[in-house]
Amino acid sequence: MDVSTRNLKKWIRDLGDLGVQTLSFAGALGGRREASHRLLVVGTPEFEPWHFVAHLSEEAQRQGRVDLRPTLMRWEVPPGAPAHLAVSVDTIAHATRDQTVLVVSSHFRSWEMLERVSDAKRRGARIMSVHRGDDDLADLSHEMLSVDPRRADRDFEVTQHIVTDAAPSGGQHTRTRWSRGLSRPRF
């Protein structure tokens, strides 16, 4: 997907209320610079959010947001994987209060993932999630963005692109140029 300001504005408008919620979530992720020093991103064994991680890493680099440079948690680390792609999901269970665990979960529910996230929450980690109506994950999350499972898969993908572009600005897009006219979606 070609990510530009014009495309993002269009995507946000097309998503209606979900677009506004997505900007709010992005602001929550990017708005707490001092509170989190490491961002751990995990999916389920069936869905690895490498695309999300790649986009967020690029935008965080561009904005100078070291705190938002994500670490991808892998369910299966291939032999010889480079260091940045060789971090096991077991790391999540040991997350601390100065870390944020961000779960990106599409259609798959994973009890193993929920257990690790629950452990991280008990240790004080901030839990955030982007998911498709997973009530158990929602209960564990401090902040979440839930995309109704009846919505198109493309809507789930678009919300991820909006988050990865808007979060590194610390939510500035939410408070400035994009929020005008978006509080009441036009249909």
Q: Mean pLDDT in the chain?
A: 85
pLDDT for residue 168 is more than 50 = yes
> pLDDT band at residue 5, thresholds of 50, 70 and 90?
low
pLDDT for residue 177 is more than 50 = no
Quick check: is 42 in a domain?
Answer: yes
Higher pLDDT, 105 or 32: 105
**For 37-72, how does the pLDDT look when each residue is reduced to its tens digit (9 = 90+)?**
789 999 998 889 999 999 999 999 998 988 899 999
| CATH number, domain with residue 102 | 3.40.50.10490
Domain count along the chain: 1
Read off the pTM.
0.86
Higher pLDDT, 129 or 38: 129
Quick check: is 108 in a domain?
Answer: yes
Q: How far is CA 99 from the centre of its chain?
A: 14
Quick check: is 185 in a domain?
Answer: no
Quick check: is 183 in a domain?
Answer: no
The answer to whether 37 and 96 are in contact (CB under 8 A) is no
- The two tokens of residue 182 are 């978006």
Quick check: is 8 in a domain?
Answer: no
Paired with 129 in beta bridges are 103, 144
Phi-psi region of 27 (alpha: psi -120 to 50; beta: other; left: phi over 0): alpha
Query: Other CB atoms closer than 10 Å to residue 84's CB: what's the count?
Result: 12
Sorted by sequence, the CB contacts under 8 Å of residue 35 that are 6+ apart come out as 98, 126
Query: Other CB atoms closer than 10 Å to residue 157's CB: what's the count?
Result: 16
> What is the mean predicted confidence (pLDDT) over 121-125?
95
Quick check: is 90 in a domain?
Answer: yes
Instruction: Give the model's pLDDT for residue 171.
Output: 53
> What is the mean predicted confidence (pLDDT) over 147-152?
94
How far apart, in whole angstroms, are the C-alpha atoms of residue 117 and residue 91? 10
**For 88-106, how does the pLDDT look when each residue is reduced to its tens digit (9 = 90+)?**
999 998 999 999 999 999 8
Quick check: is 91 in a domain?
Answer: yes
Tell me which residue range forms the domain holding 66.
36-76+84-155+164-169
